[in-house]
Amino acid sequence: MFVSPSQMNAVRRREEYDKRAILLLRNPIDALFTFAHYLMAGDDQKGTVSPTIFRGPAWNHYVDYVAYAWADHATRWIQNIRNGTVVFYELLLQDTEAELNRLLRAVNFSAIDPAVDPERMRCTLKHKNRTDRKRSKKPT
Protein backbone atom coordinates (compact mmCIF):
# COMPACT_ATOMS: atom_id res chain seq x y z
CA MET A 1 0.00 0.00 0.00
CA PHE A 2 1.34 3.41 -0.97
CA VAL A 3 1.18 6.19 1.63
CA SER A 4 1.66 9.73 0.37
CA PRO A 5 4.05 12.15 2.12
CA SER A 6 1.11 14.28 3.27
CA GLN A 7 -0.54 11.20 4.82
CA MET A 8 2.73 10.35 6.59
CA ASN A 9 2.99 13.91 7.89
CA ALA A 10 -0.59 13.76 9.16
CA VAL A 11 0.15 10.51 11.02
CA ARG A 12 3.36 11.98 12.42
CA ARG A 13 1.57 15.15 13.55
CA ARG A 14 -1.13 13.11 15.31
CA GLU A 15 1.52 11.09 17.13
CA GLU A 16 3.50 14.18 18.12
CA TYR A 17 0.35 16.01 19.19
CA ASP A 18 -0.64 13.33 21.74
CA LYS A 19 -3.64 15.42 22.85
CA ARG A 20 -1.38 18.29 24.00
CA ALA A 21 -2.54 21.69 22.83
CA ILE A 22 -2.99 25.35 23.51
CA LEU A 23 -6.03 26.58 21.63
CA LEU A 24 -6.31 30.33 21.11
CA LEU A 25 -9.94 31.29 20.49
CA ARG A 26 -11.39 34.63 19.59
CA ASN A 27 -14.97 35.75 20.14
CA PRO A 28 -16.74 34.29 17.09
CA ILE A 29 -18.49 37.56 16.21
CA ASP A 30 -15.19 39.47 16.22
CA ALA A 31 -13.53 36.65 14.29
CA LEU A 32 -16.32 36.74 11.71
CA PHE A 33 -15.86 40.44 10.95
CA THR A 34 -12.07 40.37 11.17
CA PHE A 35 -11.86 37.47 8.74
CA ALA A 36 -14.21 39.26 6.33
CA HIS A 37 -11.99 42.34 6.42
CA TYR A 38 -8.91 40.15 5.95
CA LEU A 39 -10.42 38.40 2.92
CA MET A 40 -11.66 41.56 1.24
CA ALA A 41 -9.15 44.27 2.19
CA GLY A 42 -6.59 43.32 -0.44
CA ASP A 43 -2.89 43.85 0.19
CA ASP A 44 -3.38 46.42 2.94
CA GLN A 45 -4.35 44.22 5.88
CA LYS A 46 -4.80 47.34 8.02
CA GLY A 47 -7.65 48.50 5.81
CA THR A 48 -11.35 48.02 6.13
CA VAL A 49 -14.00 47.22 3.59
CA SER A 50 -17.27 48.92 2.76
CA PRO A 51 -20.14 48.32 5.22
CA THR A 52 -22.28 47.25 2.24
CA ILE A 53 -20.30 43.97 2.21
CA PHE A 54 -22.07 43.02 5.46
CA ARG A 55 -25.54 42.73 3.91
CA GLY A 56 -27.39 40.42 1.60
CA PRO A 57 -27.48 36.74 0.74
CA ALA A 58 -23.71 36.39 0.25
CA TRP A 59 -23.08 37.84 3.70
CA ASN A 60 -25.73 35.56 5.24
CA HIS A 61 -24.09 32.54 3.61
CA TYR A 62 -20.67 33.67 4.84
CA VAL A 63 -22.00 34.08 8.41
CA ASP A 64 -23.51 30.58 8.36
CA TYR A 65 -20.31 29.06 6.98
CA VAL A 66 -17.91 30.82 9.39
CA ALA A 67 -20.13 30.26 12.43
CA TYR A 68 -20.31 26.53 11.68
CA ALA A 69 -16.57 26.31 10.95
CA TRP A 70 -15.66 28.22 14.14
CA ALA A 71 -17.91 26.08 16.35
CA ASP A 72 -16.78 22.83 14.74
CA HIS A 73 -13.10 23.75 15.06
CA ALA A 74 -13.43 24.88 18.69
CA THR A 75 -15.52 21.90 19.75
CA ARG A 76 -13.23 19.29 18.18
CA TRP A 77 -10.11 20.80 19.74
CA ILE A 78 -11.63 21.38 23.18
CA GLN A 79 -12.97 17.82 23.34
CA ASN A 80 -9.54 16.40 22.53
CA ILE A 81 -7.20 18.51 24.66
CA ARG A 82 -5.95 16.41 27.55
CA ASN A 83 -2.84 18.37 28.42
CA GLY A 84 -3.06 22.08 27.72
CA THR A 85 -5.66 24.80 27.83
CA VAL A 86 -7.89 27.16 25.92
CA VAL A 87 -6.82 30.81 25.82
CA PHE A 88 -9.42 33.40 24.92
CA TYR A 89 -8.00 36.23 22.83
CA GLU A 90 -10.14 38.90 24.50
CA LEU A 91 -9.04 37.83 28.00
CA LEU A 92 -5.44 37.80 26.80
CA LEU A 93 -5.83 41.45 25.77
CA GLN A 94 -7.62 42.48 28.98
CA ASP A 95 -5.30 40.86 31.52
CA THR A 96 -2.26 39.73 29.56
CA GLU A 97 -0.01 38.91 32.50
CA ALA A 98 -2.63 36.81 34.32
CA GLU A 99 -3.53 34.91 31.13
CA LEU A 100 0.11 34.26 30.27
CA ASN A 101 0.75 33.00 33.81
CA ARG A 102 -2.33 30.75 33.54
CA LEU A 103 -0.97 29.46 30.24
CA LEU A 104 2.41 28.75 31.83
CA ARG A 105 0.73 26.81 34.65
CA ALA A 106 -1.28 24.81 32.12
CA VAL A 107 1.95 23.60 30.54
CA ASN A 108 3.50 22.95 33.95
CA PHE A 109 5.58 26.10 34.29
CA SER A 110 5.27 29.01 36.67
CA ALA A 111 6.46 32.60 36.39
CA ILE A 112 9.29 31.81 38.83
CA ASP A 113 10.40 28.65 37.02
CA PRO A 114 14.04 28.91 35.85
CA ALA A 115 12.92 27.98 32.33
CA VAL A 116 10.74 31.12 32.19
CA ASP A 117 12.78 34.22 31.44
CA PRO A 118 11.28 37.16 33.42
CA GLU A 119 12.80 39.57 30.89
CA ARG A 120 10.70 37.97 28.13
CA MET A 121 7.52 38.43 30.17
CA ARG A 122 8.47 42.05 30.89
CA CYS A 123 9.18 42.66 27.20
CA THR A 124 5.92 41.01 26.15
CA LEU A 125 3.90 43.13 28.55
CA LYS A 126 5.77 46.29 27.57
CA HIS A 127 5.03 45.80 23.86
CA LYS A 128 1.54 44.32 24.03
CA ASN A 129 -0.10 47.54 22.85
CA ARG A 130 2.02 48.10 19.75
CA THR A 131 -0.03 49.71 17.02
CA ASP A 132 2.30 49.51 14.03
CA ARG A 133 0.41 46.48 12.63
CA LYS A 134 -3.08 47.24 13.90
CA ARG A 135 -5.97 49.11 12.40
CA SER A 136 -6.42 52.59 13.79
CA LYS A 137 -10.14 51.94 14.20
CA LYS A 138 -11.86 48.64 14.95
CA PRO A 139 -13.98 47.57 11.96
CA THR A 140 -17.71 47.23 12.38
The pLDDT tens digits of the residues spanning 28-78 come to 999 888 888 888 877 666 667 888 888 999 999 999 999 999 999 999 989
Q: Encode pLDDT of 85-98 as tens digits.
A: 899 999 999 999 99
| DSSP bridge partners of 22 | 85
The answer to whether residue 77 is domain-embedded is: yes
| DSSP bridge partners of 20 | 83
The answer to whether residue 55 is domain-embedded is: yes
Q: How far apart are CA 107 and CA 105, in angstroms?
A: 5
**Structural domain that includes position 79:** 20-126
Q: Cβ(47)–Cβ(136) under 8 Å?
A: no
Sequence-distant (≥ 6) Cβ neighbours of residue 113 within 8 angstroms: 104
The answer to whether residue 6 is domain-embedded is: no
The answer to whether residue 65 is domain-embedded is: yes
> What are the φ/ψ torsions at residue 69 (nearest 5 degrees)?
-65, -45
Write down the pLDDT at residue 25.
93
Sequence-distant (≥ 6) Cβ neighbours of residue 49 within 8 angstroms: 36, 37, 40, 41, 139
How many domains does the chain divide into?
1
What is the percent of the chain where pLDDT is above 90?
A: 27
Grouping H, G, I as helix, E, B as strand and the rest as coil, residue 140 is coil
Query: At 3, is the pLDDT very low, low, confident or very high (cuts 50, 70, 90)?
Result: very low
The answer to whether residue 62 is domain-embedded is: yes
Which is higher by pLDDT, 51 or 134? 51
The answer to whether residue 105 is domain-embedded is: yes
* Residue 137 DSSP one-character state: S
Q: How far apart are CA 53 and CA 49, in angstroms?
A: 7
Q: Cβ(121)–Cβ(112) under 8 Å?
A: no
The answer to whether residue 138 is domain-embedded is: no
